[in-house]
Amino acid sequence: MPPYLLPEPLVTKNGEKVTTAEMWWKQRRPEIVEDFEREVIGRVPKDVPKVTWTVVSNVTEGLVGNLAANGKRLVGHVDNAACPAVNVDIRMTVVTPATAALSSPAILAATSGTIAIPDRSMISPLIHRSALFQRSNLAMIRSSGAEGSQPTA
């Protein structure tokens, strides 16, 4: 199979070179967006059924690594009026920083089951134990009186 060559970004589909900002915005950019929507992202069909989201549980004071986080488990029920014999529920977990403002990073996980969002009581001992094996944390471990094996040089 021959190698795939990407199209020239500043040459229109009819072979004309893009020479102005207006030409870019009115002609070439829409061509690229169209190709990307058609070939990469895909298009949303006109008759997509409605999805109704419900929060089924909340987790507060959880952790992602050693960062405080909150999570919500959601179920999205897809309207099955077009085919009542088929029932579609989408399970989703959304995790955000505990100190999240209106705009913040989020972890979105579509699942077939559940994703554990551990609370502090479950994870703190694990973080404490893993710290024992990191050389940079030796001073902290010694000053806190933590028990366990000390790493060797």
Sheet with 107-111, edge to edge strand ranges: 51-64, 67-78, 88-97, 107-111
Considering just the CA atoms, what is the radius of gyration of the chain in Å?
26
**Is the C-alpha dihedral spanning 11, 12, 16, 17 positive or negative?**
negative
pTM score of the predicted model: 0.49
Average pLDDT (49-56) is 94
Instruction: Give the Cα separation of 28 and 8 in Å (integer).
Output: 10
Q: How confident is the model over 78-120, as pLDDT tens digits?
A: 999 988 999 999 999 888 888 877 788 888 888 765 555 555 5
Instruction: Give the Cα separation of 147 and 66 in Å (integer).
Output: 20
Question: Bridge-partner residues for 95, per DSSP?
Answer: 71, 107
| Selection from 77, 73, 78 nearest residue 55 by Cα | 73
pLDDT > 70? residue 66: yes
